[in-house]
Amino acid sequence: MSNIGLYIHIPFCERKCNYCDFYSIKGDDDLHKKYVDKVINEIRYWKSNELYSNSVDTIYIGGGTPSVLGTNLLQKLLDEVTSNLNVDSNAEITIEVNPNSVSYIDLAQLKSSGLNRISMGLQSASNDELKLLGRLHSIQDAKNATEQFYKSGISNFSLDVMLGIPLQTPETLVQTLDFCINSNASHISTYMLKIEENTPFYKNTNNLIFADDDTMADLYELTCKKLADNGFRHYEISNFCKNNRISRHNMKYWVLEDYLGIGPSAHSLIGEKRFFYPRDIEEFNYKNIQFESKGKTPEEYIMLTLRTDEGFKFRKHKELFNLTVSKEFIKKAEEFEKLGLLNISRDAICLKEKGFLVSNAIISELLSTEIL
């Protein structure tokens, strides 16, 4: 029996950012309370469901902006999870916050309920860039927030950084990365700005200058070098950590371990079953769960593990699927190795830094060959 990860989606934000396409709405105290009660009902359902049988070793409360719920509701949620589910004593328990909403919660009190990791949406250390993104915080808010993390006794925290923001230059990106490094963040997640439909950025594309592919590549390479020079391990395409403090929860996604997602738009993978809740707070109920195509396929394993620095492991692939990779697949991989984009060892295929940058193209080419 293996462990499982638990994701809980909190779909509330004070205001939607200009680039955001995640499911989120503006709530109030009454709606927040009703929603937490609905989540608790779902947790109790899954406690006895045949799909759910394993112990929980990671919990991730994301959003939206979970911190808008306030201390009492978040603590109620955590206490219900630990009292209803078999939570491992060494579980990684993460809550997402925004810099301007950290003041809404008592981190020390939440720590007493098991919270031991924080993920904060910094995005930039330039106030001009933050304003353009539609963020509500200033860089001073972010600095104050990181100081509160340490005061509460939570030193394991991650900061989100966005690449390709309009107005962003190599100099302002370095300013942002320096902020992360100087704050002693143990983990940094980087995201290339993608313009999604039905967002303010999408509707305003003619009035803003967005980074082209070459500029985005330069910003990514700058980020990789800067963080490597400061002791960060580049353990996944978009993620870096110090002292091996990877996001244990997110690693489950990339190595096809089981995870259960609760909340509107939340996705799950248990056994070979992929399913999700509707993207609607009113329809959020286990009775409305929708099942997708089969999960944990050989192709999926290759595609996701190649995102990590440990790469696609031949022995694990054989163990999971009782299949051996074909000569044609290895031959195609050797072509990319000659270009300096990946390494092939006796045990695995791993993308190099340059390979991470064009990972989608490499993975697509590999999967177009006869895999087995």
Mean pLDDT over residues 266-288, rounded?
A: 93
Residue 302: enclosing H or E segment and its boundaries?
Answer: helix 298-305
pLDDT for the residue numbered 227: 98
Give per-residue pLDDT as tens, 79-92. Answer: 999 988 889 999 99
* Domain definitions of the chain by residue range: 4-253, 297-372
pLDDT for the residue numbered 372: 59
pLDDT confidence tier of residue 15, bands split at 50, 70 and 90? confident
Give ∠ CA 123-243-184 in degrees, rounded to 5: 45
pLDDT greater than 90 at residue 25: no
DSSP 250-299: HHHHHTT--EEEESTT-EEEETTEEEE--S-TTS-SGGG-EE-S--S-HH
Residue range 297-372 forms a domain whose CATH class is mainly alpha
pLDDT confidence tier of residue 218, bands split at 50, 70 and 90? very high
pLDDT for the residue numbered 371: 61
Tokens of 301: 């394993």
Phi/psi class of residue 231: alpha, beta or left (left: φ > 0; alpha: ψ in -120 to 50)?
left
Give ∠ CA 208-213-216 in degrees, rounded to 5: 80
**Range scoring the smallest mean pLDDT among 52-61, 111-120, 273-282, 345-354:** 52-61
Phi/psi class of residue 340: alpha, beta or left (left: φ > 0; alpha: ψ in -120 to 50)?
left
Q: What is the mean pLDDT of the chain?
A: 92
pLDDT greater than 80 at residue 268: yes
Give per-residue pLDDT as tens, 227-260. Answer: 999 999 999 999 999 999 999 999 999 999 999 9
Same fold, 4-253 and 297-372: no
- In this structure, which CATH number among 3.20.20.70, 3.40.228.10, 3.40.50.1100, 3.40.50.300 belongs to the domain 4-253? 3.20.20.70
DSSP 109-152: HHHTTT--EEEEEEE-S-HHHHHHHT-S--HHHHHHHHHHHHHT
| Sign of the dihedral through C-alpha 328, 330, 331, 335 | positive
pLDDT greater than 90 at residue 323: no
Mean pLDDT over residues 264-284, rounded?
A: 93
Integer Cα distance of 23 and 13 in angstroms: 10
Percent above pLDDT 90 for the chain: 76
